Amino acid sequence: MQQQFFEKGTKVMESSRRDVVILAIESSCDETAAAVVKNGREVLSNVISSQIELHTLYGGVVPEIASRKHIEKINQVIEEALNKAHMSLEEMDAIAVTYGPGLVGALLVGVAEAKAIAYAAGKPLLGVHHIEGHINANYIENKELEPPFLCLVVSGGHTHLVKVADYGSYEILGRTRDDAAGEAFDKVARAIGLGYPGGPKIEKVSKEGNPDAIAFPRAKVAQNPYDFSFSGVKSAVLNYINGCKMKNIPIVQADIAASFQKAVTDVLVEHAMMAVEEFKINKFAIAGGVASNRVLRDGMCKACEERNVEFYYPSPVFCTDNAAMIGTAAYYEYLSGRRDGWDLNAVPGLKLGER
Ligand code: KG4
Ligand code: ZN
């Protein structure tokens, strides 16, 4: 069968080779996930067991509980992924797993599982960077998307503006200096009494609020115009709430949420478009949990349209943590010839582009 064949550092080229099917595992935070992905862009199954309800009780992810739940769920999630794909372990070409960044205990569950399965079944093992997975999620539904493109990764733990030069080749243009965008959503949601996870809850109540009601700051980082800082806007929300309480002014939750959401999304769009203009790349993608935010999507879409830039975004199920995106990233690593050894370990602070 004809299919796309990729070698690192070279252009994608056509070659006749058989299908590559990968079993991918993701357990870096609070989702236990497994997927079967064919030739990088065809998702045969995508099973996600979310722990959100459990962690909601504590107002955020409790690492120890996350690890234990992963252990309980991982075997059944993998079995279900294989069943839904109507495939057996023997039919897999490789086993891929997120090995960082993330919570060390949570990552270790996936890594140990992947190593055990790969060893027992005699399959190659591939460790995948979680952020690389988020970026690669864009390939799943946008079959025509090819590097180079720019990508904004906005999740609970990361905010990265990345130039995707080629498959597996990333240049970080900017990153957050303090809180990640999703983290800011979660913290502000907690402060205004919405609970965890904050992003979807802020988005929902914002629909009833006025985004121009309160002028929250849009921080700039002097050293690198592409870097982000969200701790200032979070503190501004807290100060605003305290000020209202002291002056006995009623707190309008929806107005705070809408104004905060606008402040954050304005900065994200502004930085993204600065990069589009400087690097003259006419393809822009977003990824990560916050990428499912409607206001961010609409803002990006409009800004891209105005500049004749093609805008890409994954469906919400591929924005939040999932294993299909890990299978997609693993496919390009597989084609580049990379394989990991049985000494693969969890690396909680793994940097993008590092091995
Ligand atoms: O990518 P993800 O599932 O996990 C990490 O790798 O961190 O992202 C989770 C983050 C959380 O902070 C959550 O509040 C945020 O994504 N999020 C959103 C929305 N949906 C999820 N933030 C804003 N608007 C949303 N609709
Ligand atoms: Zn993530």
**How far is residue 107's CA from residue 293's CA, in Å, rounded to a whole number?**
26
Nearest to 188 by CA among 281, 88, 87, 260: 260
Residue 336 · residue 168 · CB < 8 Å:
yes
Residues in the chain: 355
Does ligand 1 lie within 6 Å of residue 51's CB atom?
A: no
**Ligand 1, pocket-test mutation among 28, 56, 135, 185, most atoms within 8 A of CB:** 185
Q: Which string of DSSP letters, residue by residue, matches 132-163?
A: HHHHHHHHHH-TT--SSEEEEEE-SS-EEEEE
Does ligand 1 lie within 6 Å of residue 195's CB atom?
A: no
Does ligand 1 lie within 6 Å of residue 321's CB atom?
A: yes
- Can you say how many angstroms the Cα of residue 1 is from the centroid of all Cα atoms in its chain? 32
Residue tagged 């190593």 (tokens): 115
Does ligand 1 lie within 6 Å of residue 265's CB atom?
A: no
Ligand sitting nearest the alpha carbon of 30 = 1
Does ligand 1 lie within 6 Å of residue 288's CB atom?
A: yes
Does ligand 1 lie within 6 Å of residue 113's CB atom?
A: no
**Ligand 1, pocket-test mutation among 154, 155, 318, most atoms within 8 A of CB:** 155
Supply the pTM of this predicted model.
0.92
What does the mean pLDDT of the chain come to? 93
| pLDDT of 4 | 38
Does ligand 1 lie within 6 Å of residue 314's CB atom?
A: no
What is the distance in A from the centroid of ligand 1 to the CA of 182? 5
Ligand 1 closest atom vs CA 189: 14
Residue 192 · residue 253 · CB < 8 Å:
yes
Residue tagged 């243009």 (tokens): 173
Looking only at the bridges linking them, the beta strands covering 21-26 and 94-100 are: parallel
Where do the H-state alpha helices sit in the chain? 52-56, 63-84, 104-121, 130-141, 181-191, 198-206, 231-246, 253-279, 294-306, 316-319, 324-335
Protein residue with least CA distance to atom 8, ligand 1:
289
**How far is residue 75's CA from residue 291's CA, in Å, rounded to a whole number?**
29
| pLDDT of 17 | 67
Which tokens is 121 given? 């079944």
Look up residue 313 and give its amino acid.
Answer: Y
Residue 186 · residue 157 · CB < 8 Å:
no
**How far is residue 170's CA from residue 138's CA, in Å, rounded to a whole number?**
15
Residue 237 · residue 260 · CB < 8 Å:
yes
Residue 128 sits at φ, ψ, to 5 deg, of: -120, 140
**How far is residue 156's CA from residue 238's CA, in Å, rounded to a whole number?**
19
| pLDDT of 16 | 53
Ligand sitting nearest the alpha carbon of 159 = 1
- Evaluate the omega torsion of the peptide bond into residue 197 and state whether it is cis, within 30 degrees of 0: yes
| pLDDT of 244 | 94
Ligand 1 closest atom vs CA 158: 7
The per-residue pLDDT for range 237-289, each reduced to its tens digit, is: 999 999 999 999 999 999 999 999 999 999 999 999 999 999 999 999 999 99
Residue 145 · residue 138 · CB < 8 Å:
yes
Which tokens is 174 given? 């900017």
| pLDDT of 52 | 79
- Rounded to 5°, the CA angle 154-160-166 comes to 110
What is the distance in A from the centroid of ligand 2 to the CA of 13? 30
**Ligand 1, pocket-test mutation among 51, 52, 268, 290, most atoms within 8 A of CB:** 290
Average pLDDT per block of 10 residues along the chain, 355 residues long: 38 62 96 97 96 79 88 96 98 98 96 98 98 98 97 95 97 96 95 90 98 94 92 95 94 97 98 97 97 98 98 97 98 97 97 83
